A and B are shown apart, each in its own frame.
Chain A
Amino acid sequence: MTGKLRTGKLSRLLLARRGGASWHWTDVASYAYLALGVLLMFGPVAWLALSSFKTPAALLEFPPSLLPMAQSEVSVQGYPQPLPLFRVTMEDGSVRELAQVRRVGIVAQMVDPKEPGQTIRVPADRRTPVRHMALAVENYTDPLTQFDFLRFLRNSLVVTVVATIITLVINSMAAYALSIYEFRGKSLAMLGVIGTLMIPITIILAPVYLVVTKLGFVDSLWAVILPGAATPTGVFLLRQYMLTIPRDLIEAARMDKASEWRIYARIVMPLSMPALAVLAIFSVMWRWNEFLWPLAVLTKTEVHTLPIALNAFQGELQTQWHYLLAMTVVTLLPVALVFAFLQRFITSGIANTGMK
């Protein structure tokens, strides 16, 4: 009896779907695991967002401050510019807030804002800056005003939307042919799909460039939209899913004199919605984030997509980190928004696919 009870509890750890009412250590462990997951998954992105509001100088600090900070400044009588404020540990151990006039080597000349007449010489390592929270909004506003951001956004949207639609249509048609029919050359076609499943575009970049040039697509968005439209992964996923559609449905439709196209469009496509949703998500992600290939074929500013524009902050010798981080956040925003609104749809879509 006891043995069986123990089994029941333990089995819940591995298998349970609906547990009992009271807390068990496995519940605690599960929640601890999930809490850690939240920290690990969201933490880094939150850190990126916080860092993007820091000034270039603040980005370099160690240890980094959690929130974006900037040094406080005060206007002191007799000095035209506002002076930076420091907290200084004096010789006698007392702590005063002083404004710095200038620093020469390891000695700083400071002044008390309340008694501006008299300068005080302080060893530079005795002072720590007084700081307040300040968002470096210029990290965002500078690039957004300097670049035609809306155009890049539009280009990225066009590429993503058009390419995803083309991908969904032609991939689902191919998957339909490969899953429902028996025909000569089917194995060869399957081999072609599966054989190219693993070929990354990176290694055939130069030949694809050659083909696109010959077709006259260079510097048009079609150069980015078309080459990646027929994805072997998409065909593979959709076909695996369509294989599970009951043949009786199709046979019944044929009895009703439905055309093959109608069967595809009105029966198979709606039944494949979950798999199509998964492919759509993937396609959107691929296209939105694509960098290497657009960089090769899109040279004119008016056809640049967001990732290219973003990387313009990487020069030969210097990377303007503050801009790069801020613009990374900007490109993340649409993804985050889409996800926030559609997350239930997306995750349950993948879950429902089953993908067998």
Chain B
Amino acid sequence: MTDTIRSHGAPARGPSAAAAVTTGSANALMRLTDPPMRAVQRLIGALRMPYVFLLPNLVFFGLFVFLPIGINIVFSVTGGTALFPSERPYVGAEHYARLLDCGSYLEAASCREDLFWRGVGNTLTFTVFQMVAMVLFSLVTALVLNRPIRGRGFFRAVYFFPVLLSPVVVALIWKWILQRDGLLNAVLTTAGGEKILFFVDPGWAMFWAVFVSVWAHMGFYTLILLAGLQAIPRDVYEAAEMDGTRPWRVFHRITLPLLWPNLLVVLVLVLIRSVQVFDEVFVLTGGGPGTATMMVVQYIYTTAFANQVQNFGLAGAASVLLGAVLFVLTLIQLFLTRRRAS
């Protein structure tokens, strides 16, 4: 089924001159790179070629992801403010004990590092709401865009446009609109309402954090879902309609299952983004009111950088804990994907 939609080289269509240039340069590149790679293949054998392909990425991963994670683990069991691991005294599990020292895990205020747990709680809330809202809105939009409407390309572009904006810009735009004397309050007062101080009320602040995030990213997920919808063969629907199947049932029994792979991609990506969320929300709400929208990544960043005593140890321990949770989450997701696929 996938093959039916995969358009072989569709985007390459366009002015033929450009295509010719592309082909020309691709040929030149090929002539340049093929002989050495061919030599490598002869040397080590075709079976070991995947390692060659993997190598460059692995080097980068190793240097800038795995090594730093390792250093972070070292940070987490050492103390002080020095940056070089060799200058930091070993403190054992002290930072971990501090983070996990809670009267009750359901009550952040009972914890020694209450801010960490508030961050964890806020991130959870944000993730749940954001996933529901994101999937709902991008699905509805994709369904609407999948209808025979005029100007579909234009509307598709409209929803996609904010995806290209930087998180900081997105937050600035909305902060500008939502502040006490912003556009929205101007509209509210003109309509006879009262000004609402959105950033003083924890509920509103979280609402807008989720809203702005959905606003900025739903265009991308809409396109993924739209692609899935368009891949569903029409005759399946026609057959269902012939049988007089009720529309909700068709949606439930045909559309959703056939769309599931795309939905899953959306779910994975949204989850990843939600857990990582930081600058967008921070610029918008500053983590407030109080600590109502302070995310766990903000806690880690503050502990390591914004405080006068840059506590890389505590921040490292928190990020190791977060990393472990994320890793487990990913594995569960992977497992679910596998099961669906088989």
Residues of A within 8 A of B (CB): 3-4, 7-8, 10-19, 26-27, 30-31, 33-34, 37-38, 40-42, 44-45, 47-48, 51, 60-64, 169-171, 173-174, 176-178, 180-181, 183, 186, 189, 192-200, 202-211, 215, 226-230, 232-233, 235, 240, 244, 246, 259-262, 264-266, 270-271, 273-274, 277, 285, 288-289, 291-292, 307, 324-325, 328, 331-332, 335, 339, 343-356
Within 4-44 of B, Cβ neighbours of A (below 8 Å) are at 5-12, 14, 26, 29-30, 33-34, 37-38, 41
Are the CB atoms of A37 and B159 closer together than 8 Å? yes
Q: Which residues of A contact B48 (CB under 8 A)?
A: 183
Are the CB atoms of B57 and A174 closer together than 8 Å? yes
Q: Looking at chain B, what size class is its interface with the partner chain?
A: 35 or more
Q: Which residues of A contact B220 (CB under 8 A)?
A: 350
Are the CB atoms of A203 and B50 closer together than 8 Å? no
Q: Which residues of B contact A274 (CB under 8 A)?
A: 6-7, 10-11
- Among B198-206, B241-249, B285-293, the stretch in contact with A: B241-249
| Main secondary structure on A side of the interface with B | helix
Q: Which residues of A contact B110 (CB under 8 A)?
A: none
- Of B148, B163, B174, which contacts A16 at CB under 8 A? B148
Rounded to whole angstroms, the CA-CA distance of A345 and B168 in the bound complex is 26
Rounded to whole angstroms, the CA-CA distance of A147 and B145 in the bound complex is 44
Task: Determine if B336 is an interface residue (Cβ-Cβ < 8 Å).
Answer: no
Rounded to whole angstroms, the CA-CA distance of A40 and B211 in the bound complex is 11
Given A177-B53, A211-B67, A343-B157, CB of A14 within 8 Å of CB of B247: yes
Are the CB atoms of B228 and A199 closer together than 8 Å? no
Given A51-B176, A173-B57, A259-B41, CB of A289 within 8 Å of CB of B168: yes
- Of B30, B53, B75, B331, which contacts A176 at CB under 8 A? B53
Are the CB atoms of B334 and A194 closer together than 8 Å? yes
- Of B6, B58, B177, B304, which contacts A44 at CB under 8 A? B177
| Main secondary structure on B side of the interface with A | helix
**Minimum Cβ distance to chain B for residue A166 (Å):** 8
**Who on chain A is nearest to B187 by CB?**
A63
Are the CB atoms of B2 and A356 closer together than 8 Å? yes
Are the CB atoms of B57 and A11 closer together than 8 Å? no
Task: Determine if B297 is an interface residue (Cβ-Cβ < 8 Å).
Answer: yes
Q: Which residues of A contact B241 (CB under 8 A)?
A: 7-8, 11
Q: Which residues of A contact B72 (CB under 8 A)?
A: 203-204, 206-207
Task: Determine if B261 is an interface residue (Cβ-Cβ < 8 Å).
Answer: yes
Rounded to whole angstroms, the CA-CA distance of A314 and B39 in the bound complex is 55
Rounded to whole angstroms, the CA-CA distance of A62 and B56 in the bound complex is 56
Instruction: Report B219-238 CB contacts with A as 1/0, cut-off 8 Å.
Output: 11001101110110010010
4 new A-B contacts, CB < 8 A, other than A41-B159, A170-B56, A205-B301, are A11-B240, A203-B300, A270-B12, A356-B265
Are the CB atoms of A271 and B8 closer together than 8 Å? yes
Are the CB atoms of A174 and B215 closer together than 8 Å? no
Are the CB atoms of B160 and A343 closer together than 8 Å? yes
Task: Determine if B65 is an interface residue (Cβ-Cβ < 8 Å).
Answer: yes
Are the CB atoms of A332 and B7 closer together than 8 Å? no
- Among B98-106, B128-136, B318-326, the stretch in contact with A: B318-326
- Of B157, B172, B227, which contacts A353 at CB under 8 A? B227
**Who on chain B is nearest to A289 by CB?**
B166
Are the CB atoms of B300 and A202 closer together than 8 Å? yes
Task: Determine if B97 is an interface residue (Cβ-Cβ < 8 Å).
Answer: no
Q: Which residues of B contact A335 (CB under 8 A)?
A: 164-165
Task: Determine if B158 is an interface residue (Cβ-Cβ < 8 Å).
Answer: yes
- Of A14, A44, A205, A285, which contacts B174 at CB under 8 A? A44
Q: Which residues of A contact B223 (CB under 8 A)?
A: 347, 350-351
**Who on chain A is nearest to B248 by CB?**
A14
Are the CB atoms of A17 and B50 closer together than 8 Å? no
- Of B11, B41, B54, which contacts A277 at CB under 8 A? B11
Are the CB atoms of B57 and A230 closer together than 8 Å? yes
Are the CB atoms of A226 and B64 closer together than 8 Å? yes
